Amino acid sequence: MSNWMDIAALDDVPQRGSRVVKTHAGCVAVFRTAQDEVYALNNSCPHKGGPLSEGIVHGAFVTCPLHNWVFSLETGQAQGADSGRVETHPAKVENGRILLDRSIIAARTVA
C-alpha cells in the first residue's frame, strides 16, 4: 500500500507560510512556497530549538524566528556562516491535497 498520508488541503497552508502537524515525537512543520511547493521539516531549529514554522519563508528557505538562522527547505541545511541541519521528510501535493510520508509517525515514535 501507499505510504502517503493525506494531511490537509494545500490551501490550508498560506503561500510563503507554514503550519505544523503534531506527532508523538514533536511537531513537523509543513511549508508552502510562493510556487505552491510543499516541504516538511522538523519544527525545531538545531540552534536553540526555535519553531521554524513561525519563520518567514522566502524562495525555498525559511528564517528561524528566534535568531534568524536560514535553512534550505529542501535539504534542511543551515545557510551562510551557520552550520547544522534540520531533519526533512518526504512531502508532496496531489490534486490540491498535501501528502506526507507515513514514516513521520513510524520513525518518530521509535525515537
- The binding site for another protein (CB under 8 A) comprises 5, 7-8, 12-17, 19-24, 27, 30, 33-37, 48-51, 54-61, 63, 65-66, 68, 70, 72-75, 77, 98, 102, 104-106, 109-110
Distance of closest approach, residue 84 Cβ to another protein, in angstroms: 15
Distance of closest approach, residue 98 Cβ to another protein, in angstroms: 8
Nearest to 101 by CA among 10, 21, 12: 21
Contacts of 6 by beta carbon, 8 Å cutoff, 6+ apart? 97, 98, 99
Distance of closest approach, residue 81 Cβ to another protein, in angstroms: 14
Euclidean distance between the first and the last CA atom of the chain, given in angstroms as a whole number: 24
Q: Which is nearer to another protein, 33 or 46 (CB)?
A: 33
